[in-house]
Amino acid sequence: MKNAVLSLKSQIPRVLKSELHRWLAASILFSVLMVMARIVYTGKLTFIFFVWNLFLAYVPYFISSWLQRHPAWIEQRWKFALVFITWLLFVPNSFYIITDLFHISVYYGMPLWFDVALIFSFAWNGLVLGVLSVRQMERIFLLKFPFRNELYFIYPIMVLNAFGVFIGRYIRFNSWDAITSPFNVVIDTMYVMSNPMYFKIACGMVACYSVLMTFMYLVLKKMRSLSH
């Protein structure tokens, strides 16, 4: 197992990894600079929260990357379970940022084309971080529990992601709340889910977004194989 885990690092060439990280860092920096430019131009902090959302989207990628570099934690069941559960709590943040596209509208003082580019850049970076993180965890997970079909791991993860997106968008909880106020999260979620209107919204959103995110993940994942 240890040798298999260590081989994860060699599955992607170091040059490719470093190049990917440089372009991803540049893309994230571009998004942050756009927010700063908007603040300077308008004098308002309208979209400053996007920076925090992107930070939350980075957390699961940090966790999965850290786990790859510490194979001993993968080998020990309770340590792996602890990290994996923590990762599950945070990974919806990477895909939640897609729903920030809801904020595309006409804000006085700024051209609409600029806001569209700004919001989409954050959504794109969040999506890329999410895909990379899920891919890293998929490699690790399949070493411990090999499946014949990758969808046995991917789709349940995307269903949980979609439900997390619903909770974040409509119940307004985030991953930190699941750690600091778990009982409030459970009680409020059960209350909302018992409401027929929200139950329909939740079911529809989870069904739609889980399939959409699965397609996005698989397409981006398979694109790399076409480049070789």
Could you tell me the two tokens for 114?
A: 């600029």
Within 10 A of 18 (CB to CB), how many other CB atoms are there? 10
Instruction: Give me the residue spans of the domains in the chain.
Output: 16-226
CA angle, residues 107, 130, 159, in degrees to nearest 5: 95
Measuring CA to CA, how many Å separate 186 from each of 94, 125, 183? 21, 30, 5
Residue by residue, pLDDT tens for the chain (228 residues) are 555 544 544 454 555 567 888 999 999 999 999 999 999 999 999 899 999 999 999 999 999 999 988 888 888 888 999 999 999 999 999 999 998 888 887 677 789 999 999 999 999 999 999 999 999 999 998 887 777 788 899 999 999 999 989 888 888 777 777 777 777 878 877 877 788 777 888 889 999 999 999 999 999 888 865 554
Phi and psi of 47, rounded to 5°?
-115, 25
Measuring CA to CA, how many Å separate 198 from each of 56, 87, 172, 173, 195? 25, 26, 13, 15, 5
How far is it, in rounded angstroms, from Cα 89 to Cα 138?
16
Q: Which residues contact 184 (CB under 8 A, 6 or more apart)?
A: 173, 177
pTM of the predicted protein model = 0.84
